[in-house]
Amino acid sequence: MLGGAADGRPAMDTDAKMAEAILAFSGTTNGILSVQGFKDLEVRTGMKLADLAEGSEEKFITFAQTQAGPVPVITSPEWSGSETGGRRYAPFTINLERLKPFHTLTGRMHFFLDHDWMTDIGEGLPIYRPPLDMHRLFGEPRLGSDGAMEVTVRYLTPHSKWSIHSEYQDNLLMLSLSRGGPTVWMSPADADAIKVHDNDWVECTNVNGVLVARAIVSHRMPAGVVYVHHAQERTIDVPKSEATGRRGGIHNSVTRLLVKPSHLAGGYARLAYAFNYLGPTGNQRDMVATVRRRSQEVQY
Amino acid sequence: MRVMAQMGMVMNLDKCIGCHTCSVTCKQAWTNRAGMEYVWFNNVETRPGQGYPRRYEDQDRWYGGWTLNRRGKLALKAGGRVKKLFGIFASPVQPELKDYYEPWTYDYKTLVDAPLGDDFPVARPKSLITGEDTKITWSANWDDDLGGSTEHGHLDPIVEKIRRESEDKIKFAYEQTFMFYLPRICEHCLNPSCMASCPSGAIYKRVEDGIVLVDQDRCRGWRQCVTGCPYKKIYFNHKTGKAEKCTFCYPRVEVGLPTVCSETCVGRLRYLGLFLYDADAVTAAASVTDPQDLYDAQMDVLLDPHDPRVQAEARAQGIPDDWLDAARRSPVYALAKVYKVALPLHPEYRTMPMVWYVPPLSPVVDLLRDQGHDGEDAGNLFGAIDALRIPVEYLAELFTAGDTGRVTAVLRKLAAMRSFMRGISMGEDPDESIPESVGMDGQGMYDMYRLMAIAKYSERYVIPTAHLEQAHDLEEPGLLFGFRRRTGHAGLGTVRRGERQTRPGGRGHVPRPAGPAELGHHCRGDKPAREGEPAELGRPRRPAGTFPGQGPGAGHPGRCRGPAVNRPAMNRRDQVVYLAAAWCLSYPDGQLVGRVPLVRAALSEFPGALAGFAPVLDLLEGTPPMELQAQYVREFDLGRRHALHLSYWTDGDTRRRGEVLGLFKEAYRHSGVLVDLDGELPDYLPMVLEFAARVDGEAGQELLQRYRASLEMLRLGLLRDNLPHARILAAVCATLPGKSPQDEQEVMRMAGYGPPTESVGLDPYDPRLLPVRRS
């Protein structure tokens, strides 16, 4: 790199150094930045905030520390919660307790979006919208059983009671306290229609992809809906699928993001692109998938 | 009346979210071992469901608990001694692995070892019993959240019973879904059938707190207890061949800490406290004819800790006053006997279980809400409790031997509380008619609400500590560390009086007081300090001025042997300062706090000496012990800002440190003592101070001066964080030659060092560690 643009600057030539650089640039891992960020925010808001991070100036979370074990992060203006003094994180703590204005036009928490496009499509306020007709719109199979050993159902991916994303549900102890691998919750009616018993291997398919998992049949599920809990890891007990011959997927293998015009409203008030979610809400959960019983002799 | 104390637990089932944190932390603490893979001392079952092990409640199959024989006397359901004796070599009736579950692990190694392929690698399940590939067909919690109810739901013994006997059949239909979680541990019964089943007498119920334990030395692995326990909460360790069970985390409870399952409970649904009961009345109570009368009988066995007669009797039985006080504040007594909302699990087993449950109102509320009703309206709730017979009957089979009236009464109380408090939080005047409708008054209902909804840690867990101190001679404050004289010139020598004792408050073992003074022959039989006698730190039982190497006896051959004699006399004031500092900077357990008056008195004998210590002494006396200890751990154990280890400041966690620590030990040894480090590092400041005060003043001061920079850094660190201990450090530094530096820069200059750096080994980014490039 001699003579290049990076001359005299910290090297980021390995993944570990890159990680260090990222840690150095976030207030949650670099106490100096956090304090500085809060001081800037004090100037902008006129509210007392810096004390949330004061005393953290000398804290710096290194990559090695994150490898050694979980490290609590530093309260930072990048987020809206506070973990100062051992508190548990909750969203909007700083907005509510320190009166930092919400990131809305009014500075208050509100649900009304007065963007023209939102008004035009009738979504200025959060309202109920029926699920899309995936058959007519995208040619997916019709809901229900078609006489063959398949049933098409709404495919929902709620968070399980054990995890937000992946933490701990794939720990051996937690797996020993559940079914020990990926599962699909089904109603007895749907299971009956395709002759699936509890703990049978099933495949969920649609145009997006395929999921291989074991069925949990329970009267707690209404007919016509399956649950595939969010982010069950595909490192554990995922065999190859019959549909593709490749490794069966994860919950999001059969989902995709559906973009609608309101997602493109931007550059106005708080409506702006942000990583992970484009615009108002994510609706990639509005899916149907076809479930069928598969050969019970699975290959890994 | 024979009053005994029993530790008990209450779980409020409305608050259980089925997260299994209790199970996981319990397993990590107690059963994370070979032979115990399938064992969960604590498990959380979804009900309706079969539980763990499967169908453990089916006593027609497992023969657990007690029954009444033809003469109306209590007898083990599995048969009496004679039957046991004849069948002792036959395998007892007990659940097999398929009834628990076959524990498994995963082929995790594949994830990192798999060769490059078209698909990403995956870890497949392997049996922990056979080591072979396996398909998972049952687990410790297979029917979680009603999973598999179509296949297995009807196998729940209670569902079976209700379907057989009740006119309303339980249907597993979406619209009629109800469920709740039931966390279970050992019941620590007043009338334990496991104990009665054991042919070896290995199971015992502790006299002081009623915790039921298995003596691992006496257990012969007959497994009769596994049969005898109707809750199937005794497990067979197939590696050791012995029975093991939930210990109620007695090592924690003894020092006042809640059990692991309680401590980690996310929903804060567990309560711990004492019951006082009449031990003479237990057998009769367990023998009442009608199983539905067992609840009342069990309640009658519990004694009122506020009753002066009970208190007098308890004192006469040797129950200490602080335990009686704890019994009066007991949340479990309040929930079980005062408010009568906690019920025992399966009283019909006649074991008098001591883990109680507040039955869940949520199945009723949820059904109401799902049907579009206001689930918090008292009228709606009362109506629903009467109308929704299925959940009520199910709960009655669990908690009252099928008596729905009692369960209804509890649920009505909970419903009334919910409705009453809703009115208050909506700003309405308290509606006294609501508590009256369940036989309570507004104040009582509010108190119950407080205990059930917002009770703090200290109110939920009222745990008196074990009276270990009775075993110890607390009248003589001893050293924190065992400085033992090496005898003569015989090398490592023998210990003179090295019996160990446990320090109450629990940092393990420290040696009995064995100071240098004891090393002389004249010290035996001296009396402990009494009021009016001159207060003298550390050794009230010796005449003043006889610290080793000091006073008239110094150098006398019969008094002290070894190289420590004939050291020049150390300033008496410095000695007191060092000792006081050593104690003030040590972990503040009860014993140390108890010494505060003595420390205060001793310091005030020297003009101006007390001032530097007063803030810390005040802190020690004026702060609740838990808070004090938490603060100590936070400030001195966990962070590096106030590290009390002298060479930490100079050498940090580098590889040089071992050598440096060795030098400390060498210094001690050079003064003719061996130090029982008791798990501490030899550069721990209180240890060095005690060494300077009590063993070898000169060498001690030398060590302190050598690490003067560390002392100053520590002082400045404490000062920066406004900790009163800074002044103690200042007092210690003042005894050393030279002026204290003003700031950290000055210290650095004085010491000529920066932050510790590693001078041995390879840097993590060392190019030598990178993969060798093939050329």
The tens digit of pLDDT for each residue in B320-363 reads 999 999 999 999 999 999 999 999 999 999 999 999 999 999 88
CB contact under 8 A, A177 and B24: yes
CB contact under 8 A, B125 and A14: no
Average pLDDT over residues B732-761: 73
Residue of B nearest to A17 (CA): B765
Cβ-proximal residues to A85 (8 Å cutoff; 6+ apart), any chain: none
Interface of B with A in 534-573 (CB under 8 A): none
By mean pLDDT, which of A70-74, A96-100, A236-240, B79-83 is the weakest?
A: B79-83
Interface test with B, best of A58, A177, A178 (most B CBs within 10 A): A177
CB contact under 8 A, B104 and A246: no
Residue A275: which pLDDT band, with cuts at 50, 70 and 90?
low
By mean pLDDT, which of B679-688, B733-742, B753-762 is the weakest?
A: B753-762
Confirm or reject contact between A87 and chain B (CB < 8 A): no
Interface of B with A in 30-89 (CB under 8 A): 44
The C-alpha atoms of residue B636 and residue B617 are separated, in whole angstroms, by 17
Residue of A nearest to B28 (CA): A173
pLDDT digits (tens, 9 = 90+) for B631-651: 998 888 887 788 899 988 888
In this predicted structure, what is the pLDDT of residue B491? 30
Interface of A with B in 270-289 (CB under 8 A): none
Q: What one-character DSSP code corresponds to residue A65? A: H
Burial class (CB in 10 A: 0-12, 13-18, 19+), B739: exposed
Q: What is the 3-state secondary structure (H, E, C) of B690-759?
A: HHHHHCCHHHHHHHHHHCHHHHHHHHHHHHHCCCCHHHHHHHHHHCCCCCCCCCHHHHHHHHCCCCCCCC
- Give residue B443's identity as a one-letter amino acid code: Q
Confirm or reject contact between A300 and chain B (CB < 8 A): yes
Residue B660: which pLDDT band, with cuts at 50, 70 and 90?
confident
Residue B495: which pLDDT band, with cuts at 50, 70 and 90?
very low
Positions of CATH 2.40.40.20 in chain A: 134-293
pLDDT of B474 above 50 = no
Q: Which residues of A touch B137 (CB under 8 A)?
A: 199
Residue of A nearest to B173 (CA): A219
CB contact under 8 A, B122 and A218: no
Confirm or reject contact between A177 and chain B (CB < 8 A): yes
Nearest to A237 among B23, B124, B179 (CB): B124
Nearest to A219 among B28, B123, B172 (CB): B172
Of A95, A73, A77, A84, whose CA–CA distance to A41 is shortest?
A: A77
CA distance A261 to chain B (A): 35
CB contact under 8 A, B764 and A247: no
Is residue B295 classed as helix, strand or coil in its secondary structure? Answer: helix
Q: What is the 3-state secondary structure (H, E, C) of B211-271?
A: CEEECCCCCCCCCHHHHHCCCCCEEEECCCCEEEECCCCHHHHCCCCCCHHHHCCCCCCEE
Confirm or reject contact between B264 and chain A (CB < 8 A): no
By mean pLDDT, which of B257-261, B477-481, B520-524 is the weakest?
A: B520-524
Confirm or reject contact between A88 and chain B (CB < 8 A): no
CA distance A4 to chain B (A): 22
Residue B206 backbone dihedrals phi, psi, to 5 degrees: -65, 135
CB contact under 8 A, B146 and A220: yes
CB contact under 8 A, A172 and B105: yes
- CA B163-B156-B341 angle, to 5 degrees, is 90
Residue B383 backbone dihedrals phi, psi, to 5 degrees: -60, -45
Average pLDDT over residues B561-565: 35
Confirm or reject contact between B631 and chain A (CB < 8 A): no
pLDDT digits (tens, 9 = 90+) for B384-406: 888 877 789 999 999 999 999 99
CB contact under 8 A, A217 and B105: no
pLDDT digits (tens, 9 = 90+) for A145-190: 766 789 999 999 988 887 766 567 778 999 999 999 999 999 999 9
Helix H or strand E segment including A210: strand A210-217
Q: Which residue has the tokens 């003067």?
A: B708
pLDDT: which is higher, A45 or B603: A45
Q: Do residues B421 and B449 lie in contact, with contact meaning Cβ atoms separated by under 8 Å?
A: yes
Of B221, B227, B191, B210, whose CA–CA distance to B95 is shortest?
A: B227
CB contact under 8 A, A238 and B28: no
In this predicted structure, what is the pLDDT of residue B489? 35
pLDDT digits (tens, 9 = 90+) for B106-120: 998 898 889 998 898
pLDDT digits (tens, 9 = 90+) for B45-58: 999 999 999 999 99
CB contact under 8 A, B23 and A16: no
Confirm or reject contact between B652 and chain A (CB < 8 A): no
Cβ-proximal residues to B100 (8 Å cutoff; 6+ apart), any chain: B38, B39, B52, B53, B54, B140
Q: Which residues of A touch B150 (CB under 8 A)?
A: 188, 191, 198, 217-219
Supply the CATH classification number for the domain A134-293.
2.40.40.20
CA distance A231 to chain B (A): 15
Dihedral-angle region of residue B243 (phi above 0 means left; psi in -120 to 50 means alpha; beta otherwise): beta
Nearest to A162 among B19, B119, B137 (CB): B19
By mean pLDDT, which of B65-79, B409-423, B481-495, B518-532 is the weakest?
A: B518-532
Of B40, B458, B464, whose CA–CA distance to B274 is shortest?
A: B464
Q: Please report the DSSP string for B575-620 in residue order.
A: HHHHHHHHHHTS---HHHHHTHHHHHHHHTTSTTHHHHHHHHHHHH
Confirm or reject contact between B148 and chain A (CB < 8 A): yes
CB contact under 8 A, A198 and B23: no
Interface of B with A in 176-215 (CB under 8 A): 177, 179
Confirm or reject contact between B17 and chain A (CB < 8 A): yes
Average pLDDT over residues A236-245: 93
Provide the strand spans (E) within A30-172: 144-145, 150-156
pTM: 0.69
pLDDT: which is higher, B373 or B219: B219
pLDDT digits (tens, 9 = 90+) for A200-227: 999 999 989 999 999 999 999 999 999 9
Confirm or reject contact between B722 and chain A (CB < 8 A): no
Q: Which residues of A touch B147 (CB under 8 A)?
A: 179, 183, 185, 198, 216-218
Confirm or reject contact between B125 and chain A (CB < 8 A): yes
CB contact under 8 A, B122 and A181: no
Averaged pLDDT score across all residues of chain B: 82
In this predicted structure, what is the pLDDT of residue A258? 79
CB contact under 8 A, B174 and A216: no
Residue of B nearest to A192 (CA): B150
Q: Which residues of A touch B125 (CB under 8 A)?
A: 180-181, 237
Of B156, B125, B171, whose CA–CA distance to B46 is shortest?
A: B156
Confirm or reject contact between A247 and chain B (CB < 8 A): yes
